[in-house]
Structure 1
Amino acid sequence: MKKFKVEVTTTNTYEIELDEDVINEEWMQEFRETFYSFNSLEEHAQQIAEQRVRNVERNNTFLEGYGRVRIKDYGFDSKNWDSPVEGITVTVIDEGEITETEVVEIQ
């Protein structure tokens, strides 16, 4: 039996919109009490994008700590079929394009 280690590198690019009237200091304080000690919108944008990358099922709009967020993906808008929370919109610019694959046989 042969065994291979395969490393696939992808590029994902998102535009994350956070409404400061919704994702305000009070909201962030409640988030810190339950999830992570984020103090800036930039930290939230990074977390949202990273969760989207890890979300294998792309039609699932639920992100831990945020709920169902609005996803705008190549002409589709989850607001039309989902009930997303207010204040967070993820626009997919580029998602999952394979940029490099490396295969090494493991002895």
Structure 2
Amino acid sequence: MALITKTVEVRQIISVTVDEDKFSEQFMEEFRASFYPFFDLDDHIQHLAQLTARDIITEWPKDQFVEGYGPLTDMGISCAEQDECLETEIVKVGDAA
């Protein structure tokens, strides 16, 4: 058997909408204390996009509870894939270990 290993880059486009007023300094401090060292809104938006890309955040139910944020509708958060098509590209070819 001839094993090969390839590393594949996968790209998706995710649209993230948030109510920036909900991301107060108090919220940010509490989030940092319990979860990740996010210091600005872009950190949260990127994190929410990653959660959506991994199907942790889904389009249904709209009021889905997400750890650290609570019900998404309460935080004014919505996330959606912009395109059903994923782009893929082999970025590294190496021998199997």
TM-score (norm 1): 0.63
Of residues 33-42 and 84-93 in structure 1, the stretch that sits farther from structure 2 once superposed is 84-93
CA contact (8 A) 2:14 2:80 kept: yes
Aligned positions of 1:1-107 closer than 5 A: 1-53=1-53, 55=54, 58=55, 60-61=56-57, 71-72=58-59, 77-79=60-62, 83-84=64-65, 85=71, 86-87=74-75, 88-94=77-83, 97-101=86-90, 104=93, 106=95
Structure 1 segments unaligned to the other structure (5+ residues): 62-70
Q: Which consecutive aligned stretches of 4+ in structure 1 deviate over 3 angstroms post-superposition?
A: 101-105
- Corresponding residue pairs, total: 88
Q: Distance in 2 between matches of 1:44 and 1:105?
A: 34
Fraction of identical pairs, as percent: 28
Q: Distance in 2 between matches of 1:27 and 1:104?
A: 44
TM-score (norm 2): 0.68
User: Higher strand proportion, which one?
Assistant: 1
Shift of 1:95: 5.3
Task: Name the aligned partner's letter for residue 98 of structure 1.
Answer: E
SS at match of 1:94: coil
Greater helix share, 1 or 2? 2
- For the Cα contact (< 8 Å) 1:6–1:104, is it kept in 2? yes
In structure 2, the gaps of 5 or more residues are 66-70
